[in-house]
């Protein structure tokens, strides 16, 4: 049976952190090898293949890091931070937040000590990689985050909370999925040198690097002083701001939606998965309500029926995994397009039944369609409709992997009879009102294919 709202959120955060930690282990195994880095440093040059390889790896690194930090930020907002933890129900959140924070510190230290320990590599990681949507100066931001005194204070406070409240926290997480995470905290703390002298030494090293570069060239700005760095723990993630899709717009589109419709969405915020390409990066599946499921004769397991109920009417893969969600959550965005696949109601019912079997799986941070135990957002749509009525959905090769992006879905709708775009909001001529009918195609095409210059994130 479903858990309470608080437990439900807790378990989803736990699932997201567990998946990210698994992805992190793979990421570290696939990091550039020391022999290859030594060759690059000796040659003072990256070949084209080496450039592509480190850009791809760094995109994965930033993706995992940003998602961990976003979860820490959610936990901080939920609990009020480690200094305000007083109720036992907050302790499991603390365990997850501290675990995620330790993983971030582990990542940052690995990057700086094992990968970017030479200026040749540091300069490369400070470059922009437009094909991966990596902006300039990312290495500098990570380095400063690691040595920033405010972040050192946060990690010390978290460690002190764990030490002082150890028994109460252990009791609070006993016989829950978070118990294993709690048991692993001591191991994770090994990756974080908690001595104040270590943080001071790292900070002085960063200052020395600045002073040396200032002396070398008066024209070259300090790599650290030019960075604007707020005190927030997830400083590279944009501050929350009101979404452009209002309750009124959600009400209008809710009246038009049918089970099987595809919602392609866009946020005006920093991306947390750099492998999702395009102006329109995300997709979700509208499955309808439990009454629609009964009417269409969709057979699902009793466990899935417990989650596909009440207000949950979309199936969406986010960092917490593949879950049924309310439309208000899925459309907490700035722009969206609705696609309606051209299949019979019976075929749509079969697609939704297939899609429901993926509920509860983890999120695929690698954007790799080869594996089906973890799904990326568009893969929910792909696993539902591919091969239905003998119609295959073509995958595109990106970075050596077969994938399907949200814009590939839009291309299918604009260029074939696989689906029709039926509504759009939030871009160009649809910025103020929901547009339906024949104008949708023109606005959609212009939004990502015809407009001369289009930012992927604004």
DSSP 271: -
Q: Indicate the number of domains in the chain.
A: 2
C-alpha pair distances (Å), 178 with each of 40, 96, 407: 42, 7, 37
| pLDDT attached to residue 416 | 96
How far is residue 381 CA from its own chain's centroid?
18
The neighbour count for residue 170, using CB atoms within 10 Å, is 14
Domain co-membership, 271 together with 211: no
End residue of a domain, out of 161, 195, 216: 216
Write the CATH number for 333.
3.90.1720.10
In a domain, 241, yes or no: no
Domain co-membership, 252 together with 375: yes
> Distance between CA atoms of 397 and 389, rounded to whole angstroms?
24
At which residue do the structure tokens 């926290």 appear? 169
pTM of the shown model: 0.74
74 token code pair: 């959610």
Antiparallel, parallel or unpaired: β 335-341 and 312-318:
unpaired
In a domain, 389, yes or no: yes
Query: Could you tell me which residues come within 8 angstroms of residue 436 by beta carbon, excluding any fewer than 6 positions away?
Result: 256, 422, 423
The neighbour count for residue 301, using CB atoms within 10 Å, is 12
Domain co-membership, 309 together with 407: yes
Domain co-membership, 196 together with 331: no
In a domain, 238, yes or no: no
406-415 vs 377-385: helix axis angle to the nearest 10? 40
Q: Are 162 and 97 in contact (CB under 8 A)?
A: no
Alpha helices in 165-262 (DSSP H): 166-173, 178-183, 185-189, 196-216, 247-254
Query: Could you tell me which residues come within 8 angstroms of residue 34 by beta carbon, excluding any fewer than 6 positions away?
Result: 114
For the chain (458 residues), the mean pLDDT of every run of 10, in chain order, is 64 93 94 95 92 92 93 80 60 91 93 95 93 88 85 79 89 92 91 61 50 40 25 40 89 98 86 72 96 95 91 94 96 97 98 96 84 91 96 86 92 97 96 96 93 47
Helix (H) or strand (E) run with residue 94 in it: helix 91-110
In a domain, 455, yes or no: no
Domain co-membership, 187 together with 277: no
> What is the domain range of residue 353?
247-450
DSSP 213: H
| pLDDT attached to residue 230 | 28
| pLDDT attached to residue 297 | 96
Domain co-membership, 273 together with 418: yes
| pLDDT attached to residue 84 | 57
In a domain, 242, yes or no: no
Q: Are 71 and 150 in contact (CB under 8 A)?
A: no
In a domain, 177, yes or no: yes
C-alpha pair distances (Å), 395 with each of 51, 97, 286, 339, 408: 25, 37, 22, 18, 8
| pLDDT attached to residue 147 | 80
| pLDDT attached to residue 2 | 44
End residue of a domain, out of 165, 194, 216: 216
70 token code pair: 């976003």
In a domain, 237, yes or no: no
């Amino acid at each position: 049976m479903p858990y309470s709202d608080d437990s439900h959120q807790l378990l989803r955060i736990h699932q997201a952190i567990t998946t990210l930690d698994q992805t992190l282990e793979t990421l570290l195994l696939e990091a550039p090898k020391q022999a290859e880095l030594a060759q690059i440093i000796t040659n003072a040059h990256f070949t084209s293949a080496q450039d592509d390889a480190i850009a791809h790896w760094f995109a994965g690194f930033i993706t995992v890091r940003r998602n961990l930090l976003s979860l820490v930020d959610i936990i901080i907002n939920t609990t009020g931070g480690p200094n305000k933890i007083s109720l036992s129900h907050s302790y499991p959140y603390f365990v997850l937040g501290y675990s995620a924070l330790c993983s971030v510190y582990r990542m940052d230290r690995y990057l700086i000590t094992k990968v970017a320990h030479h200026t040749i590599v540091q300069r490369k990681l400070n470059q922009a990689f437009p094909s991966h949507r990596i902006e300039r100066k990312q290495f500098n931001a990570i380095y400063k985050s690691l040595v920033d005194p405010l972040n050192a204070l946060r990690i010390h406070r978290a460690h002190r909370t764990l030490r002082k409240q150890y028994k109460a926290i252990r009791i609070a997480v006993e016989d829950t999925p978070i118990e294993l995470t709690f048991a692993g905290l001591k191991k994770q703390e090994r990756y974080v040198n908690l001595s104040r002298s270590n943080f001071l030494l790292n900070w002085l090293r960063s200052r020395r690097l600045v002073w040396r570069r200032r002396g070398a060239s008066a024209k070259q700005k300090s790599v650290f002083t030019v960075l604007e760095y707020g005190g927030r723990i997830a400083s590279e993630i944009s501050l929350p701001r009101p979404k452009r899709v209002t309750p009124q717009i959600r009400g209008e589109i809710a009246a038009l939606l049918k089970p099987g419709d595809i919602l392609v969405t866009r946020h005006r915020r920093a991306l947390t998965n750099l492998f999702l390409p395009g102006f329109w990066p995300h997709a979700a599946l509208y499955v309808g309500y439990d009454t629609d499921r009964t009417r269409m004769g969709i057979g699902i397991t009793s466990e899935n029926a417990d989650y596909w109920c009440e207000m949950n009417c979309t199936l969406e893969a986010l960092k917490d995994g593949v879950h049924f969600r309310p439309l208000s959550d899925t459309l907490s965005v700035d722009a969206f397009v609705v696609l309606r696949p051209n299949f019979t109601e019976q075929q749509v019912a079969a697609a939704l039944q297939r899609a429901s079997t993926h509920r509860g799986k983890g999120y695929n941070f690698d954007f790799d369609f080869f594996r089906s135990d973890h799904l990326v957002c568009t893969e929910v749509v792909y696993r539902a409709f591919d091969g239905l009525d003998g119609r295959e959905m073509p995958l595109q090769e990106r970075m050596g992997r077969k994938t399907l992006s949200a814009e590939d879905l839009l291309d299918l709708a604009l260029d074939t009879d696989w689906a029709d775009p039926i509504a759009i909001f939030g871009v160009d001529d649809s910025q103020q009102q929901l547009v339906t009918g024949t104008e949708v195609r023109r606005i959609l095409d212009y939004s990502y294919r015809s407009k001369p210059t289009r930012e992927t994130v604004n």
